[in-house]
Chains A and B, each alone.
Chain A
Amino acid sequence: MDKLNDEDRKTFAVLADYLIPEYGNKPKATAVGVHQELLDKVLAVRPDLSTDFIRGVRFAAGNDVSDALNTLNKDDRIAFDAITLVATGGYLMSETVREAMGYPGQEPAPYDPHETPEYMTNGMLERVTLRGPIYRPTPRDDD
């Protein structure tokens, strides 16, 4: 399979904006560069997607976007999945998008391990305890 070229990027840009258009405070896919820097980042992490991705993009080139994507979804699901994963994977790595989603990333969340949890004070766990044991004990030899 050939390497990704500029035509592929242009075709993917159209596909990506169709899959992920502007919506509310969320930018469209190409506004954050899913067809440029983010595309390179995604394929650097997942080079295994390249062949299927390029095959799908080249199938779509010059065709109606909806027709091309629906045909891929029906006839070449692997290529369709590669295109959508590259689009969403890149889009969701964008700091701009994460900020719009209110998602800080998988950051540490400090806590006090000795703080009494709410379920200890609002009776929720006590109700479990009051219902009593639910296990079946080890049968004795004479059972």
Chain B
Amino acid sequence: MASKGKLSEEFDVLIIGSGPSGSVAAKWMTEAGMSVVLLEQGDWVDPGDYPGDKPEFELAGGKQWHPAPNFRDHERDYPINTKESDVEPLMASAVGGSATIFGGHWVSFLPSDFRVKTLDGVADDWPFTYEDQLPHLLAVEHALGISGTAGNTAYPPQGSYPTPNIPIGKVGNKLASGLDKLGWHWWPGPNAMPSIPYNGLNPCARRGTCMFGCNEKAKWSPDLNFIPESIKGGLKLIPGARVREIEYNDDKQRVTGAIYIDRNGRERRQLAKTVIVCGNTIGTPRILLNSKSKTFPDGLANNSGLVGKRLMMHPFGLVMGHFDEDLESWRGPSGMLIETMEFYETDESRGFVRGAKWGGMSGGGPLSTKGFVGSEVFVDGGKIEDAWGVNWHQMMDRRFGRTGLYAIIGEDLPEESNAVTIDDDLVDSDGIPAPKVVYKTSENSTRLLDFHSARAEEAMLAAGAIETQVCPQMRESGWHLLGTCTMGLDREKSVVNEWGQAHDVPNLFIFDGSTFPTSGGANPTATIMAVAHRQTMHMINERRNVETA
């Protein structure tokens, strides 16, 4: 099959995936003068096509703009067998990857997240520290124009954000008042959306539809600046390119490039001296497991047997509070208005280890009175007359425009039984074997969510909520996909080293969130990009010494 692939010119670097991590590598490597080709299975999205500025936006969010590929069923998505998973993975296939529909919540990991074994006796320490990644986090923040407020007491001193905080609005102030009353930590929410024009991005307009895509070109995603800048610098971007396998030369013991199917269904071969995989926590192991050779019959770079294992998906809880006053709770950003880390660090008296961050958000549009980003969460029971007729109008009067919510992001500990494998039968529209996800929510995660949901309800009541709704675990909540190609110093217990280099293949690298040894309890994009920047800078600095094909 591979011999049929049309030959291409050889690049210094082939990157697979144009999301947050792949775009970091593309931007800085192109700036450093390296020749870079980027294969992206999705296509460009015109921000004008996002549904957020249209009256039907919430309806569209339930299908064609749903964050779950299995719901969208778009031709560019690959199907995922999730029958044995408690949680539905969420992602996008597009130039810019899942950042096109992420919330833009910019929450970096804390010092303890890199030392969970030492501090809490669970999982593994990272091969580097919070302090090691901090300069890279700051570099990325300044490239993105993060809006925020300096001085958050949940972190060591970090310096200021490049743009001022976006207003937290009536809902943010209301939620903060509850935490203030309880004496609990809170902080205005940092977001990956500038409050002033910045590096090609418009200021956030507070439209409040961030997770349906940003019509304003204000919420950062790679397609808005990193990718276009890189193309100007010489990047060759190939959208609609679905990688079937990375080729490994058994004699040279190096990877030589990748075979992909272009958008016309033709098989192509892309040659490169070095390959960097940035396909996300499900896409990356899928490609490696589909890349079999004499040396690697069980999948590329899989001598440890750990490719695909230790899948982590943050347990996600939702607590809504309804207030007896008009809060204009359809206003954005969404985006975070505020955050709290009050219960982030381990306190074993709670019956679990590690913790969670809460993001305080507005209730959203009118259809969201019973749901969250396209998914119905709170289902009515009993006779339909209890929920419909005049009762429906009264429910809308009581809740719409008067709702705040806490999105609870808990830490998920790694377990080898939670894994991405290749499904025996399922294939994508190009016939490439599709992934299967096996995932069970752990007892620790369940206890963590129960505790945090109860505290969040207390915080809602302290803020003056007259009614609360608690959903301790949503199925369609796999926003944060981590693990499956874990990073570590021991080649028997990890797939890549501290620089994202595969232990088994010296010119194969992974820069995405699949390398995270643990998941933290915070939205991961900031740390994914900081780590990708760290690995990228190391590769640039060491490029003379890299063993290439």
Contacts and interface: CB of A to CB of B under 8 A. Distances in A.
B359 interface: no
A138 interface: yes
A87 to B, nearest CB: 9
Interface residues of B, number: 75
A103 B167 contact: no
Given A103-B401, A124-B180, A21 B389 contact: yes
A62 interface: no
Contact of A135 (B118, B155, B168): B155
Interface stretch (B109-117, B255-263, B283-291, B447-455): B109-117
A107 B465 CA distance: 26
B366 A106 contact: no
Contacts of B396: 101
A29 to B, nearest CB: 10
Contacts, number: 161
Given A84-B388, A135-B156, A138-B129, A93 B56 contact: yes
Nearest to A24: B393
B153 A133 contact: yes
A37 to B, nearest CB: 13
Nearest to A69: B384
A77 to B, nearest CB: 9
A18 B389 contact: yes
A96 B59 CA distance: 19
B367 A135 contact: no
Given A19-B392, A106-B53, A117 B114 contact: no
A92 B164 contact: no
B384 A113 contact: no
A46 B62 CA distance: 8
A93 B195 contact: no
B114 to A, nearest CB: 7
A108 B114 CA distance: 39
Interface in A11-65: 18-21, 23-24, 26, 41-42, 45-46, 48
Given A119-B176, A129-B153, A134-B185, A23 B393 contact: yes
Contacts of A85: 59, 62
A45 B60 CA distance: 6
A138 B115 contact: yes
A19 B216 CA distance: 36
Dominant SS at the B interface?
loop
B431 interface: no
A89 B58 contact: yes
A85 to B, nearest CB: 7
Interface string B177-201: 1001001011110000001100000
Interface in B379-417: 383-385, 388-390, 392-394, 396, 400-401
Contacts of A101: 366, 396, 400-401
A131 B177 CA distance: 16
Interface in A109-131: 109-111, 113-115, 117-119, 124-125, 127-129, 131
A111 B195 CA distance: 9
Nearest to B381: A73
Interface string B190-227: 00000110000001011111000000100000000000
Contacts of A106: 52-53, 57, 207-209, 330, 332, 365
B59 A89 contact: yes
A48 B130 CA distance: 47
B115 A139 contact: yes
Interface in B158-181: 163-168, 173, 176-177, 180
A133 B130 CA distance: 16
A114 B57 CA distance: 31
A103 B368 CA distance: 14
A131 B153 contact: yes
A137 to B, nearest CB: 5
Contact of B166 (A42, A108, A113): A113
Nearest to B163: A113
A112 B52 CA distance: 23
B366 A103 contact: yes
A93 B207 CA distance: 17
Contacts of A41: 56
B185 A128 contact: yes
B177 A124 contact: yes
B115 A73 contact: no
Interface string A69-100: 11001000000110011001100110000000
Contacts of A135: 110-112, 153-156, 341, 344-345
B119 interface: yes
B68 to A, nearest CB: 14
B63 interface: yes
A113 B164 CA distance: 6
A125 B207 CA distance: 25
Contacts of B498: none
B131 interface: yes
Contacts of A113: 147, 163-166, 195-196, 203
Nearest to A107: B207
Contacts of B195: 113
Given A18-B389, A103-B330, A106-B330, 4 more contacts: A106-B57, A111-B167, A125-B187, A128-B153
Interface of B: 52-53, 55-60, 62-63, 110-112, 114-115, 118-119, 129-131, 147, 149, 151, 153-156, 163-168, 173, 176-177, 180, 183, 185-188, 195-196, 203, 205-209, 216, 326, 330-332, 341-342, 344-345, 365-367, 376, 383-385, 388-390, 392-394, 396, 400-401
Report, nearest first, the 4 A-B pairs whose CB atoms are least far apart.
A108-B205, A113-B195, A23-B393, A109-B206
9 contacts: A18-B388, A19-B388, A103-B366, A106-B52, A109-B331, A114-B164, A135-B341, A135-B344, A139-B119
